[in-house]
Amino acid sequence: MIVHTPAELAAARGALSGTVALVPTMGALHEGHRSLIRAAREIADHVVVSVFVNPLQFGEKADLDRYPRTLEADAAICAEEGVALVFAPSAADMYPREPVVTVSAGEMGTVVEGASRPGHFDGVLTVVTKLFGLVRPDSALFGQKDAQQLAVIRRLSEDLNLGVRIVACPTVREADGLALSSRNRFLSPDERVTAVALSRALFAGRDAVELGPAGVLAAAGAVLDAAAKAEPPLDRDYLVLADSVTFSPVTAGHSGPAVLAVAARVGETRLIDNLPLEF
């Protein structure tokens, strides 16, 4: 069933008995989203998928306008995967007036991806809070590919006592390592070849973990430097090694989990990826 307004959602949600898992998405669903839905079905009686391109998390209007919208195909995938409800609101449904009260990601929202996209995580947390209030899920599933988003949403649920269990699911990759993303469809064949450097850099860093943080960054950086000379070139935004909980930079004496994260632009398409590491 597809519902579009909060009122329609409330009526449909009220008819569901048992536990509910939410898979929040911006649509353009792919195999990575299917994996989230399948994991959700394992832990809940019903799965709700939201499909909403949230304007609050986009800094550039051109990027917002360019984001793919494929609701008919998305609904078909959800039907195939046994989703109970698809919530596909319009921006006017979600924000009937200019929001006055929003949710801040604090310091965590200003580093790494947040430094490149100011206000992005505030927009993410605001819409996630609204979705949690509307859907009232017992759990919500997010992909590890957006590791910083996952970290700030965990803090959202914990700090505000929202009572929603946040479940992380592994990144799904193509055979050559490229992380699945709705933005991959914008890559030309040549750009697609260059883009594989993101995952290759992460794997090179993982293989150098015994050399410590500096060695990890050097190994990953060498792959990105080579890709910057390719045709078409890869334009690096950042390559960082961050604490997996706070996303503060990892220092030389770090012990325990960390996240190696990268963002780069290939042509007009900006891509992100990350890999969890253990020191």
> Is 182 within any annotated ligand binding site?
yes
Q: Is 114 annotated as a binding residue?
A: no
CA–chain centroid gap for 80, Å, is: 23
3-state secondary structure of 259: strand
Tell whether residue 4 is among the known ligand binding residues.
Answer: no
The response to whether 148 counts as a known ligand-binding position is no
Answer yes or no: is 187 a known binding residue. no
Q: Is 181 annotated as a binding residue?
A: yes
Omega before residue 232 within 30° of 0, cis: yes
* 46 has catalytic annotation: no
Q: Which of 33, 46, 120, 254 is catalytic?
A: 33
The response to whether 234 counts as a known ligand-binding position is no
- Strand 234-243: give its sheet, edge to edge: 234-243, 257-266, 269-278
Secondary structure element (H or E) that encloses residue 30, with its range: none
Q: If residue 8 lies in a helix (H) or strand (E), which one and from where to where?
A: helix 6-14
In the sheet that 165-169 helps form, which strands lie side by side, from edge to edge? 2-3, 85-87, 46-51, 20-25, 139-143, 165-169
Say whether 180 counts as a known binding-site residue: yes
Does the annotation place 28 within a ligand binding site?
Answer: yes
For 127, the 3-state DSSP assignment is helix
Q: Is 183 annotated as a binding residue?
A: yes
SS3 content of the chain, % helix, strand, coil (to 5): 45, 20, 35
120 annotated as ligand-binding: no
Q: Is 35 annotated as a binding residue?
A: no
Handedness of CA 169, 170, 175, 178 (dihedral sign): positive
- Report, as residue numbers or ranges, the catalytic residues: 33
Q: State the binding site for beta-alanine.
A: 57
Q: State the binding site.
A: 26-33, 57, 143-146, 149, 172, 180-183
Q: State the binding site for (R)-pantoate.
A: 57, 149
Q: State the binding site for ATP.
A: 26-33, 143-146, 172, 180-183
